[in-house]
């Protein structure tokens, strides 16, 4: 007997060969199939008689096939299938490209639905590559709803071997099983927030009668996805509080000495964040905090205060960075800041391992996470740009260095400003400190969009800046072509469009600038395929003013500071998100001199509204809000990194929904902290945790 829990491989009509493809889509059971959310809908609900067809209109017609044949064009190897379809008002033509199987599927005399855009060709209307569906006499007699035409037709995320058409067929075969599906959302939650019951949501998801049906179904699954994320995060927060941690005394006199030793005044936001962190570290439970700040807001100094207190308490701390460049920079900066207090800083990367006697602060990359590395007496773990370490590795890092009795305090840092509602969801297990002020002497970077006809003028301006001794960053886009195996219909088109676009490469741009534009200046090159030692050498030369212009990929996005670099050039600027462009811009303007950022689009007018937003807006948090509206949460997260489906990503962009869901999650956990009365939610949370750690 087939039930919603039946494994997909045991379902009739599912061949063994396609089971792996279904599982790649996350479809392991019939329940997964019925809750598989479409990525969009084709509106084929506009049904018309043939005589009423209007050119360029998307319509559905029903008629009988009068003729169907195959024609091979003279100018190419393309195969065309021609058909004429008639109803009681007229005849329309249909053309399909390279679909010879249609001759085996469709026959003269078949009643058929056609859905698509009509075009006026010659003396009559023609449908080009229309969706089709044979209508049986029984379906005609019963007035059954079609599957592929004549309605709002769902289009699903696909993979090689699995098409939306086949998924619609499979779902229609088992849609009646929705009546047996248990609803994970409690009835009181559904009532409070006007959420559809699961069985109704499943029906409206795959067979909506109207746009309203579709929106209500989507709202239901958005709510459910967010609720699972929220409960997962809040549950993790509660679990962390059950561990024991070293109590690091908040030595106020030591912090005062630390602040006095700095060559610059702290902002109020830095002072507030330091206080929040040291008060957390005083507690016998592990700190679990995110330090979120704009580029150049001074996160490293805040982290240094926590490191100082830890070291003075006789404990050890480690700082993890995503790249060797950033790890070495952190080590260099911390050595200078902590030197007056005789705190020794060790560095451990793939290319450099320098551990001093009595080192109490360890700075490194993934190399520090090796199983054979143990830092005894570890009381504090700081992770910079933690999202770059992979899916939810925060917990893994803590487990890696966990002792039998104590767990280290944890501080995560990010220079990507994240809208608060988004942060409260994805970092729901973390307390948040925000650096929303910039140092008082920092001049805003002047940002300009440079069109093709103004490039020469911009080059001349940059030349004059370099004659004054200033240095220049040049960033080139690196675009990854989508994997065609996961995009059977559109992958090749996307690949072709990317190849056709003018995408600057580091090598070609380096050659142009070094030999054509600025032959009288020293031009260097930096990219991800270089060996770590090569990167370090180049960055050291640039930092020591032995290179005037550094052409690089986005490897310089995070953390690389060169105080004398006053100009940032970004080629192909439209290929980057606002958050990333703002990160690049933050690489200059680190001194009290005026700095500049020039945005060079590949073509005139490309993504002009986004680039103009960067010109007008200097605050990273404001830009994050704009990016959230324009590009969605994936700009900050990406579904693969977080185990969040696209429907969850869509929901994250709705602040009111996030607030409602957070309240619902808190209510559920308040009444049922162990989720004993919410078995289905507990199962989904377990599944999410497994997915997150297995990615």
pLDDT at res. 654: 74
User: In degrees rounded to 5, what are phi and psi of residue 571?
Assistant: -80, 145
Confidence of residue 601 (pLDDT cuts 50, 70, 90): confident
Q: Is the pLDDT of residue 397 over 70?
A: no
DSSP per-residue letters across 32-98: HHHTPPPSEEEE---B--GGG--TT-EEEEEEEEEEEEEEE-SSSS-EEEEEEEEETTEEEEEEEES
Structure token digits, residue 289: 């905090």
CA gap 322, 415 in Å, rounded: 13
Q: What percent of the chain is modeled with pLDDT above 90?
A: 42
- 3-state SS, one letter per residue, for 601-636: CCCCCCCHHHHHHHHHCCCHHHHHHHHHHHHCHHHC
Q: CA separation (Å) from 166 to 18, 32, 147, 204? A: 11, 16, 10, 19
Residue with tokens 């705190």: 343
Q: In 3-state terms, what secondary structure has residue 10?
A: helix
Q: What is the DSSP string of 340-373?
A: GGT--EEEE-SS-EE--TT--EEEESGGGG-TT-
Mean pLDDT (whole number) for 267-281? 95
Q: Which residue would you say has higher pLDDT here, 425 or 164? A: 164
Interstrand relation of 111-121 and 124-128 (parallel, antiparallel or unpaired): antiparallel
Taking Cα atoms as reference points, which of 304, 1, 26, 36 lies closest to residue 175? Answer: 36
Are 20 and 14 spatial neighbours (Cβ–Cβ below 8 Å)?
A: no
Beta-bridge partner residues of 81:
70, 96
Contact residues for 453 (Cβ-Cβ < 8 A; gap 6+): none
Cα 95 to chain centroid, rounded: 39
Tell me if 639 sits within 8 A of 649, measured CB to CB.
Answer: yes
**For 303-317, 417-431, 482-496, which range has the lowest pLDDT when averaged over its residues?**
482-496
- Tell me the pLDDT tens digit for each residue of 427-449: 777 788 888 887 777 788 899 99
Whether 312 and 340 have beta carbons less than 8 Å apart is answered as no
Integer-rounded Cα radius of gyration of the chain: 30
Give the SS3 label for residue 592: coil
| Contact assessment for residue 589 and residue 578, using Cβ atoms and an 8 Å cutoff | no
Q: How far is CA 692 from CA 477, 686, 695, in A?
A: 29, 10, 6
pLDDT at 604 > cutoff 60: no
Confidence label for 621 from pLDDT (cuts 50, 70 and 90): confident
Which DSSP string corresponds to 110-130?
-EEEEEEEEEEETTEEEEES-
Beta carbons of 70 and 100 less than 8 angstroms apart: yes
Identify the band that residue 626 occupies on the pLDDT scale cut at 50, 70 and 90: confident
Alpha helices (runs of H) in 153-267, residue ranges in sequence order: 164-174, 187-193, 198-206, 211-240, 252-261
Residues in the chain, overall count: 695
C-beta separation of 346 from 354 below 8 A: yes
Pick the more confident residue, 343 or 326: 343
Q: Which two tokens stand for residue 693?
A: 């750690």
Q: Confidence band (pLDDT; 50, 70, 90) for 420?
A: low
Angle CA(580)–CA(585)–CA(591) in degrees, nearest 5?
145
Residue 140: φ, ψ to 5°: -60, -45
- Phi, psi angles (nearest 5°) of residue 188: -65, -35
Residue in 415, 461, 459 with CA at minimum distance from that of residue 585? 415
Mean pLDDT over all residues of the chain?
83
Minimum mean pLDDT range among 239-243, 244-248, 471-475: 239-243
Closest CA to 100 of 129, 84, 115, 79: 79
Q: What is the pLDDT of residue 648?
A: 65
What angle do helix axes 578-585 and 608-616 make, rounded to 10 degrees?
A: 40
pLDDT in tens, 54-97: 999 999 999 999 999 998 776 666 789 999 999 999 999 999 98
pTM, to two decimals: 0.70
Residue range 106-141, pLDDT digits in tens = 999 999 999 999 998 877 899 999 999 999 888 777
Could you tell me which of 263, 291, 261 has the C-alpha nearest to residue 275? 291
For range 533-544, the mean pLDDT? 84
Residue 501's pLDDT is: 34
CA separation for the pair 36, 522 (Å, rounded): 55
Bridging pattern class, strands 90-97 and 111-121: unpaired
Reply yes or no on whether the pLDDT at 673 is more than 90: no
Answer yes or no: is pLDDT of 486 > 50: no
Per the model's pLDDT, the better-predicted residue between 355 and 222 turns out to be 222
CA–CA separation, 270 and 440 (whole Å): 12
What are the backbone angles phi and psi of residue 525, rounded to the nearest 5°?
A: -140, 140
> Do the Cβ atoms of 104 and 78 come closer than 8 Å?
no
Sign of the dihedral through C-alpha 482, 483, 484, 487: negative
Q: What is the pLDDT of residue 693?
A: 43
């Amino acid at each position: 007997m087939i039930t919603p829990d039946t494994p997909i491989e045991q379902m009739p009509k599912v061949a063994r060969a396609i089971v792996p493809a279904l599982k790649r889509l996350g479809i392991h059971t019939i329940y997964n199939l019925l809750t598989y959310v479409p990525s969009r809908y084709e509106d084929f609900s506009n049904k018309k008689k043939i005589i009423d067809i209007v050119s360029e209109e998307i319509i559905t017609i029903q008629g009988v096939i009068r003729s169907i044949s195959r024609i091979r064009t003279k100018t190419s190897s393309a195969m065309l299938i021609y058909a004429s379809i008639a109803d009681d008002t007229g005849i329309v033509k249909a053309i399909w490209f390279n679909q010879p199987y249609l001759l085996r599927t469709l026959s003269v005399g078949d009643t058929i639905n056609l859905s698509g855009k009509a075009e006026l060709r010659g003396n009559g209307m023609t449908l080009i590559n229309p969706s089709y569906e044979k209508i049986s006499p029984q379906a005609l007699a019963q007035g059954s709803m079609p599957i592929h035409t004549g309605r709002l037709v769902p289009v699903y995320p696909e993979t090689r071997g699995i098409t939306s058409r086949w998924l619609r067929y499979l779902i229609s075969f088992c849609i009646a099983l929705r009546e047996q599906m248990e609803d994970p959302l409690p009835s009181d939650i559904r009532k409070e927030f006007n959420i559809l019951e699961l069985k109704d949501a499943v029906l409206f998801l795959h067979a909506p009668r109207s746009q309203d049906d579709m929106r209500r179904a989507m709202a239901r699954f958005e709510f459910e996805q967010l609720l699972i994320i929220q409960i997962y995060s809040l549950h993790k927060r509660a679990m962390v509080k059950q561990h024991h941690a070293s109590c690091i005394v908040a030595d106020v006199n030591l912090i005062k000495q630390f602040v006095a030793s700095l060559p610059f005044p702290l902002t109020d936001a830095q002072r507030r964040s330091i206080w929040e962190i040291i008060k957390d570290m005083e507690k016998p439970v592990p700190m679990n905090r995110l330090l979120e700040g704009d580029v150049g807001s001074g996160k490293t100094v805040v982290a240094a205060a926590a490191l100082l207190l830890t070291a003075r308490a006789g404990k050890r701390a480690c700082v993890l960075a995503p790249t060797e460049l950033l790890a070495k920079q952190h080590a260099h900066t911390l050595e200078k800041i902590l030197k007056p207090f005789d705190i020794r800083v060790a560095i451990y990367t793939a290319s450099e391992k320098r551990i001093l006697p009595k080192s109490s602060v360890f700075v490194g990359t993934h190399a520090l996470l090796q199983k054979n590395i143990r830092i005894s007496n570890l009381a504090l773990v700081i992770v910079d740009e933690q999202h770059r370490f992979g899916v939810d590795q925060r917990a893994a890092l803590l487990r890696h260095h966990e002792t039998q009795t104590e767990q280290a305090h944890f501080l995560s840092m990010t220079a990507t400003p994240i809208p608060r509602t988004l942060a409260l969801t994805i970092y729901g297990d973390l307390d948040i400190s925000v650096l929303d002020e910039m140092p008082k002497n920092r001049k805003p970077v002047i940002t300009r969009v440079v069109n093709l006809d103004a490039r020469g003028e911009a080059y001349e301006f940059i030349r004059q800046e370099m004659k004054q001794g200033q240095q220049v960053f040049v960033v080139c886009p690196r675009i990854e072509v989508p994997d065609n195996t996961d995009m059977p219909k559109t992958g090749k088109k996307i690949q072709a469009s990317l190849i056709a676009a003018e995408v600057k490469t580091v090598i070609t741009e380096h050659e142009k600038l070094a030999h054509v534009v600025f032959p009288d200046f020293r031009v260097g090159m930096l990219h991800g395929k270089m060996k770590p030692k090569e990167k370090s050498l180049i960055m050291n030369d640039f930092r020591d003013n032995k290179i005037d212009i550094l052409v690089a990929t986005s490897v310089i996005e995070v953390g690389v500071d060169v105080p004398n670099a006053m100009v940032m050039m970004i080629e192909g600027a439209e290929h980057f998100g606002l958050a990333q462009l703002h990160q690049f811009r933050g690489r200059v303007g680190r001194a009290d001199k005026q700095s500049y950022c020039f945005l060079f689009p590949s073509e005139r007018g490309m993504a002009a509204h986004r680039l103009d937003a960067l010109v007008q807006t200097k605050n990273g948090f404001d830009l994050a809000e704009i990016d959230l509206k324009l590009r969605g949460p994936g700009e900050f997260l990406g579904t693969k990194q977080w185990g969040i489906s696209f429907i969850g990503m869509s929901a994250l962009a709705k602040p009111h929904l996030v607030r409602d869901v957070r309240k619902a999650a808190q209510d559920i956990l308040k009444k049922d902290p162990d989720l004993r009365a919410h078995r289905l939610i507990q199962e989904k949370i377990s599944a999410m945790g497994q997915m997150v750690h297995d990615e």
